[in-house]
Amino acid sequence: MTNLAQNLLDTAAADPAHPALRMDDAVLGYGDFRDAALRVAGSLQARGVAPGDRIGLVLPNVLSFPVVFYGALLAGAVVVPMNPLLKAREVEYYLRDSGARLVVALEPAEPVVEAAAAVGVDAVTVGPVSPDALLGTDPPAAAVERSGDDLAVILYTSGTTGQPKGAELTHANLAGNCRTTAETLTESTPDDVIMGCLPLFHVFGLTCGLNTAVLSGSLLTLVPRFDGAKALSVIERDRVTIFEGVPTMFAGMLHSEGAAGRDVSSLRSCVSGGSAMPVEVMRSFEETFGCIVLEGYGLSETSPVASFNHPHAERKPGSIGTPIAGVQMRLVDDDGTDVAAGEVGEIAIRGENVMRGYWQRPEETAKSIPNGWFRTGDLARKDEDGYFFIVDRKKEMIIRGGYNVYPREIEEALYEHPAVAEAACIGISHPELGEEVAAAVALKPGADADADELREFVKARVAAYKYPRHVWLVDALPKGPTGKILRRSVEVPQEVGRR
């Protein structure tokens, strides 16, 4: 039986009374979690859902998400998770592109209902604590047999170029990645409490949070909407042992009021991914909270984990570590040839974690996975110990007068300034140079600095061609569903010029 949902059945059989999911005062044990998921599977089957049918899932981090997710897998369906903040036209695109049979959303869900009506599929709305509308009188279903290569999830990538594409993740992709996460990265057991503030509709939260907790028999404590102070209070209340987040979450906790007074002594492991962790944020977080941060790397297309600073190996701040078990990584040039030692190249990945392809896009799939190696679009260097260091997204590299400028390097310099909370470096068009370096900066609460001061600060730290000629202050930077800063969405002030 290779259905990913078998992990829930096995864990529930071993200790049905053990708490599985928590959302503030609401707690669900593994036995009740299993029973509710089986009833969801029965209800979906009664609605005509067959193995392989796609089910849209538009829920935040509430108890109903794991129950419906595992219920859909038990019925043999393919889950299409979506950000609850999507507008009707965006949901409509995902439903239409995936050919979804029905969609489940958090009540009242007007945009989802509107999108479902436009596509001609059923929309089922559920409450946050229990998906009552899917817990009908239908008898609990038995788990549907799936093969490892059968689809479990279609995750739509952010679509930095063109329309979003659906990454096809199989039962084997997800099962293997959560097993490696549990066994070698978080080393989680039933005694652990895992923080569930990463969105479950995103692959990082889905694999490393939910699926890993279910496999390990750990408690996943859910936070529907991230806030630094709230996260710290949940860590303190529930004695969280494993915190997983993106860098902006670590920064949000670090800069929240009264952070230093919180009791976070229960934390055993902190995991960062999603985007590069600024070294200064990592240093400050570890100093304030007394917990080592281990940084990793992955993408939706790789289920997601590809490399990691492993717990019992040397940790190199600023590095994404070494490939995990069952995964190979290399650095290649545009032709797919390995680059020379110490040179910058594009990360290519091969292994059990790599997606089957992009949903109904054979040409895109062939372009992205030539010869079985997934081309990530991320540029990196590798040191003599085999540790990878991200230089930047290939697409976001700035070319100023023929010189390559990597935004992350400039952001790292800005983060060293004591007043800086967040920074995004971008390229804006320039008549002579092609592109000029620019940066938008958000300051820490109560901090004071002006654009000229920040520009001079970076100028003193990087080569003359690299420092940002244009710096402006903003209240906050645009972020994606996981809290990752979106450079491409940064608005350039009119006086600076258009990108």
Alpha carbons 437 and 421: distance in angstroms, whole number = 20
What pLDDT was estimated at residue 208? 97
- Examine the domain organization and report whether 411 and 372 are in the same domain: no
- Examine the domain organization and report whether 410 and 353 are in the same domain: no
- Examine the domain organization and report whether 165 and 272 are in the same domain: yes
- Examine the domain organization and report whether 280 and 356 are in the same domain: yes
- Report the domain count for the chain: 2
- Examine the domain organization and report whether 340 and 227 are in the same domain: yes
Tell me what the mean pLDDT of segment 30-59 comes to.
96
Tokens of 225: 């909407």
Using the predicted structure, report yes or no on whether residue 167 has a pLDDT greater than 50. Answer: yes
Tell me what the mean pLDDT of segment 65-72 comes to.
98
**Residue 218 vs residue 399, higher pLDDT:** 218
- Examine the domain organization and report whether 345 and 410 are in the same domain: no
What pLDDT was estimated at residue 499? 45
Among residues 348, 379, 410, which one ends one of the domains?
Answer: 379
Task: List the beta bridge partners of residue 156.
Answer: 166
Render pLDDT for 285-304 as a digit per residue (tens, 0 to 9). 999 999 999 999 999 999 99
Q: Is residue 391 part of a domain?
A: no
Q: Is residue 385 part of a domain?
A: no
Q: Is residue 140 part of a domain?
A: yes
CATH of the domain at 88: 3.40.50.12780
What pLDDT was estimated at residue 162? 61
Number of C-beta neighbours around residue 334 at 10 A: 9
Helix (H) or strand (E) run with residue 88 in it: helix 88-98
Span of 134-148, 246-260, 349-363 with lowest mean pLDDT: 134-148
- Examine the domain organization and report whether 307 and 430 are in the same domain: no
Q: Is residue 195 part of a domain?
A: yes
Using the predicted structure, report yes or no on whether residue 1 has a pLDDT greater than 70. Answer: no
CATH of the domain at 438: 3.30.300.30
Pair type for strands 19-23 and 219-222: parallel
HSE (side-chain half, CA atoms, 13 Å) at 485: 29
Helix (H) or strand (E) run with residue 96 in it: helix 88-98
* Residue 450: φ, ψ to 5°: -110, 170
Give one DSSP letter per residue of 403-437, joined into a string.
EEE-HHHHHHHHHTSTTEEEEEEEEEEETTTEEEE
- For the chain, the average pLDDT equals 93
- Examine the domain organization and report whether 345 and 421 are in the same domain: no
Alpha carbons 273 and 281: distance in angstroms, whole number = 13
User: 200 is in which domain, residue-wise?
Assistant: 4-379
Q: Is residue 82 part of a domain?
A: yes
Tell me what the mean pLDDT of segment 14-43 comes to.
97
Among residues 325, 350, 379, which one ends one of the domains?
Answer: 379
Tell me what the mean pLDDT of segment 188-210 comes to.
97
Q: Is residue 392 part of a domain?
A: no
Tokens of 325: 């078990």
- Examine the domain organization and report whether 221 and 360 are in the same domain: yes
Q: Is residue 386 part of a domain?
A: no
- Examine the domain organization and report whether 223 and 294 are in the same domain: yes
Among residues 329, 349, 379, which one ends one of the domains?
Answer: 379
Helix (H/G/I), strand (E/B), else coil: 395: helix
- Examine the domain organization and report whether 64 and 94 are in the same domain: yes
Tell me what the mean pLDDT of segment 17-41 comes to.
97
Alpha carbons 125 and 26: distance in angstroms, whole number = 19
What pLDDT was estimated at residue 328? 98
Span of 82-91, 190-199, 297-306 with lowest mean pLDDT: 82-91
Tell me what the mean pLDDT of segment 173-191 comes to.
96
Note the pTM of the prediction, 2 decimals: 0.89
Tell me what the mean pLDDT of segment 432-446 comes to.
92
- Examine the domain organization and report whether 203 and 290 are in the same domain: yes
Percentage above 70 pLDDT, the chain: 98
Alpha carbons 148 and 4: distance in angstroms, whole number = 9
What pLDDT was estimated at residue 159? 53
Render pLDDT for 305-352 as a digit per residue (tens, 0 to 9). 999 999 999 999 889 999 999 999 999 999 999 999 889 999 999 999
Q: At what angle do helices 279-289 and 247-254 cross, to 10 degrees?
A: 50
**Residue 482 vs residue 97, higher pLDDT:** 97
Percentage above 90 pLDDT, the chain: 82
